[in-house]
Structure 1
């Protein structure tokens, strides 16, 4: 139960981030890239809220798996990966935005969520549900499928009279998630969730 709460907390955090201010993280032509310094929305609460959300999802999935080695190695690996990514991004942003970025760093934590900043950071903003669906449906789908697959794995290992009906039910839920994902993907390609005001 705790593992599932962690997974859904991560998904909820990602949804909150994207709903208020979406930015494309990563790079352009395999190099760190950013056209604007985004400090509003959840980026006024934490400098890397999407990464925090991702790590919560990963941690919850690993905990649900239950193998101590998987939990320790998995969480440690992703923490290391994201720390390296953040260091590279911070160096780029400081070089590009200078004092503005340094002031931002002084006010907003790298990893912790400073909720006391939330009201000011989201003042005047409107939560965009369509953008959340369009940008994050694949992440939600992947997380749900991972949870269901792990539960099937655990049920298969239990080998009792209830295993087969339970596994069948989980398989049905996987089919529902897959169908819903396909439907949202189709609607997204047709422009139903278009958001011309998204920050890129």
Structure 2
């Protein structure tokens, strides 16, 4: 069946989902070099930062509140879940992490000022992550049965329902946010977002003959983010400072 084939492909793509953004780096930099004049406006770039940070917030809100054993990040063994999470961000959409990813991508893509590129990336994202989402949902349906069916009928996949409707009923997470777990999980993505904006600003400015990306503010900001990244990486790899008991699968 077609659905079974899509699920099989989704399981394969699930293991490689972290590497897809790398494919978009060369065309994004080229689009940045060819950015239209209006894309250099500060208000536009601040707005693009806002979109990216919104995506980061969605991910942080999801990861920080998620109970132990409810979502998998294992790229080598596939899906991992011990219980079904339907609270917090999962009460608004079934795939909040992928919604956050999309917003982070769009923040960078829109910074190029190329709406045609944004449309292409959106279509590619839908094609790629739809298969991953189908694989995840097939796994959850098989494991949690009726509980999953009821939740999936009530909660939309990616786009929150109209506020106040049954399909946008917010259910509090029920636990305090774990910032240590957020830092452990999101330091890579946050640093990649900062590097992406810096690289796009560099090529966009170079294409316009403007060396603004070499200003002290940018240099200090990038150096600070790099130092923070290295410290967090050390803490994650060499210490237990960021470890939160029971969050191995999240």
1:22-54 deviation digits (Å, cap 9, x = unpaired): 654355645444332222222122110000000
Secondary structure of the equivalent of 2:206?
helix
Deviation of 1:58 after TM superposition, in Å, equals 0.6
List gaps (5 residues or longer) in structure 1. none
User: Which residue does 2:197 correspond to in 1?
Assistant: 147
Q: Distance in 2 between matches of 1:33 and 1:126?
A: 23
List gaps (5 residues or longer) in structure 2. 1-45
In the alignment, is residue 193 of structure 1 matched against residue 245 of structure 2?
no
Question: Cα–Cα, structure 1 residues 112 and 166, in superposed 2: closer, same or farther, change >3 Å?
Answer: closer
In the alignment, is residue 9 of structure 1 matched against residue 54 of structure 2?
yes
Question: Cα–Cα, structure 1 residues 108 and 27, in superposed 2: closer, same or farther, change >3 Å?
Answer: same
How many aligned positions are there?
195
- Determine which of 72, 78, 97 is the counterpart of 1:50: 97
Superposition RMSD on alpha carbons, in Å?
2.2
Deviation of 1:86 after TM superposition, in Å, equals 0.7
Structure 1 moving runs of 4+ over 6 Å: none
Question: Cα–Cα, structure 1 residues 138 and 63, in superposed 2: closer, same or farther, change >3 Å?
Answer: same
User: Which residue does 1:130 correspond to in 2?
Assistant: 180
TM-score for the superposition, normalised by structure 2: 0.70
Q: Distance in 2 between matches of 1:179 and 1:159?
A: 29
Question: Cα–Cα, structure 1 residues 191 and 28, in superposed 2: closer, same or farther, change >3 Å?
Answer: same
